[in-house]
Amino acid sequence: MSDVTETIQELLLTAGLDAGYRNESLILLEKGNSRYVRDLKLNFSSTFSSSHLNEKECALMALSIAVNNNNAVLINFFEQQALAKEATAEEIAEAVGCASLLALNNVFYRFRHFTGKEKYTQIPARVRMQLMSSPVTGKEFFELMSIAVSAVNGCEMCVNAHEQSILGLGASEERIFDAVRIASIITSAGKVIY
């Protein structure tokens, strides 16, 4: 067995999959004897802990990004991780809801930002965002999930607004950085694990 095949198997086991599982991306990496597989495995493993987020927060953050990216394999995996870290059904539902709500906001506010027309800022949005008003995960953590989803979706206006809100709530830039780091790794892993 090659080193790449062994690393793929370790990655799959880490993600809760059978070591023999393969998809098109994994097959191509394996055929090409890609050195990247080791980086991917190490990066993916690093999403389980953080110096600035607890393990439950890491799992909920990753779940929200997996939902945002519509990755069923990672959704299932990180739901199980969140449950193992004592996340409640309400907290898990909120991570899912956050991904959906921010997808809406990211499209809407990116549109306003791209056009740069004052008229579009004067027209009422007419979208409901009750989830943001009193989140069960707490305002600061909900904002962290929001900035992570917004970064993945490329909404500059939303990223800046959520960063300002998070810092205003007393969170550190390191917490923000780790949230976005986890989001980037889950997005990357989702290109290969699906």
- pLDDT digit string, tens, across residues 135-175: 999 999 999 999 999 999 999 999 999 999 999 999 999 99
Domains of the chain, residue spans: 1-48, 53-189
Give pLDDT tens digits for 45-91.
999 999 999 999 999 999 999 999 999 999 999 999 999 999 999 99
Catalytic-role residue among 155, 176, 182, 186: 155
Amino acid making up residue 173: E
- For 84-117, the pLDDT digits (tens) are 999 999 999 999 999 999 999 999 999 999 999 9
Q: Which of 4, 58, 158, 180 is catalytic?
A: 158
Single pTM value for the model: 0.94
Candidate CATH numbers 3.40.980.10, 3.40.50.2000, 1.20.1290.10, 1.10.10.10; the one for domain 53-189: 1.20.1290.10
Whether 158 is a known active-site residue: answer: yes
Residues 6+ apart with CB under 8 A from 104: 127
Q: Is 58 a catalytic residue?
A: no
